[in-house]
Amino acid sequence: DTAVSQTPKYLVTQMGNDKSIKCEQNLGHDTMYWYKQDSKKFLKIMFSYNNKELIINETVPNRFSPKSPDKAHLNLHINSLELGDSAVYFCASSQDKQRGWLADTQYFGPGTRLTVL
């Protein structure tokens, strides 16, 4: 009965590979997010989807592409992985009473630790 789940929890891969991280929420929320946690523990938002529509698209390399098949899922696909992509990636969701706004408490997944060798 996990609220926000991510798979895999750990991902180790070689440079140049393409990989995906999956996220699912069973809270019935309208908005989902992807964050990247850097080495200083800062969480930086990458993308936000509201009802399958892209709302926020921060400046990230176009090698990163989010995909939302339905409002309960937001997957993150990364092409041509680079060493600098190594980080912990967090998925989150929120109820959002208004379209696209981050006005409510966000619920986070456990994170995916990506290591690029």
Partner 1 sequence: KQEVTQIPAALSVPEGENLVLNCSFTDSAIYNLQWFRQDPGKGLTSLLLIQSSQREQTSGRLNASLDKSSGRSTLYIAASQPGDSATYLCAALDSNYQLIWGAGTKLIIKP
| Contact positions vs partner 1 (CB under 8 A) | 9, 40-45, 56, 90, 92, 100-111
Q: How do strand 87-94 and strand 73-78 relate by DSSP bridges?
A: unpaired
CB nearer to partner 1: give 17 or 101. 101
What percentage of the chain's residues is helix, strand, coil (to nearest 5)?
5, 55, 45
CB nearer to partner 1: give 51 or 104. 104
Give the count of alpha carbons within 13 A of 77, CB side only: 9
Q: In angstroms, what is the minimal distance from the CB of 102 to partner 1?
A: 5
Q: In angstroms, what is the minimal distance from the CB of 79 to partner 1?
A: 25
Neighbours of 83 (CB within 10 A): 9
Q: In angstroms, what is the minimal distance from the CB of 40 to partner 1?
A: 5
Q: In angstroms, what is the minimal distance from the CB of 78 to partner 1?
A: 19
CB nearer to partner 1: give 103 or 117. 103
The residue whose two tokens read 């937001």 is: 74
What does the alpha-carbon distance between residue 60 and residue 112 come to, in Å, rounded to a whole number?
A: 18
CB nearer to partner 1: give 56 or 72. 56
